[in-house]
Amino acid sequence: MRLTVEQIIAYQTEGYLIVPEALSEADLRPVIGELEREIDERARRLFAEGKLKALYEEEPFERRYAFLYRECREIGKGFDIQHLLGEAMFRHLGSEKLLDVAECLLGSEISCNPIQHLRAKLPSAYAGDEPDYFQNVPWHQDCAVTTPDSEASEIITFWMPLVDATAETGCMEVMPGAFKRGYLDHRAEGGTMIDPAKLPEIVPVRAECPKGSLVIMNKYTPHRGIGNRSGIVRWSIDLRYHKTGANSGRSFQPSFPVRSARDPESVLRDAGEWRRLWREVSEAKGQKLHRV
Ligand X SMILES: O=C(O)CCC(=O)C(=O)O
**3-class SS at 252?**
coil
By C-beta, is 121 or 259 nearer to ligand X? 121
Nearer to ligand X, 71 or 80 (CB): 80
Q: How far is the CB of 210 from ligand X (least distance, A)?
A: 15
Q: Which stretch binds Fe ion (CB under 5 A): 105-113, 125-133, 135-143, 208-216?
A: 135-143
What span, in angstroms and rounded, lies between the C-alpha atoms of 55 and 39? 10
Residue closest to Fe ion, measured at CB: 142
Residue number with the smallest Cβ distance to ligand X: 225
DSSP secondary-structure letter at 246?
S
Site for Fe ion in 140-159 (CB under 5 A): 142
Q: Which does 135 bind (CB under 5 to 8 A by kind): ligand X, Fe ion, none?
A: none
Instruction: Write down the least CB distance from residue 238 to ligand X, Å.
Output: 3
Nearer to Fe ion, 30 or 204 (CB): 204
DSSP assignments along 39-103, one per residue? HHHHHHHHHHTT--S---TTS-HHHHHHHHHHH-GGGGTT-SHHHH--HHHHHHHT-HHHHHHHH
Q: How many helices (H) and strands (E) does the chain have?
A: 8, 12
Closer of 109 and 142 to Fe ion (Cβ): 142
Question: By C-alpha distance, which of 93, 103, 172 is closest to 137?
Answer: 172
CB of 77 to ligand X, least distance (A): 19
User: Residue 110 or residue 172: which is nearer to ligand X going by CB?
Assistant: 172
DSSP secondary structure code for residue 232 in this structure: S
3-state secondary structure 104-136: HHHCCEEEECCCCEEEEECCHHHCCCCCHHHHC
Alpha-carbon distance of 79 to 117, in angstroms, equals 9
Residue 159 touches which of ligand X, Fe ion, none (Cβ within 5-8 Å per kind): ligand X
Rule CB under 6 A: which residues touch ligand X?
119, 121, 137, 142, 157, 159, 172, 223, 225, 236, 238
In the complex, minimum distance from the CB of residue 115 to ligand X, in angstroms, rounded to a whole number: 8
In terms of CB distance, is 116 or 255 closer to ligand X? 116
Q: Residue numbers of the site for Fe ion (CB under 5 A)? A: 142
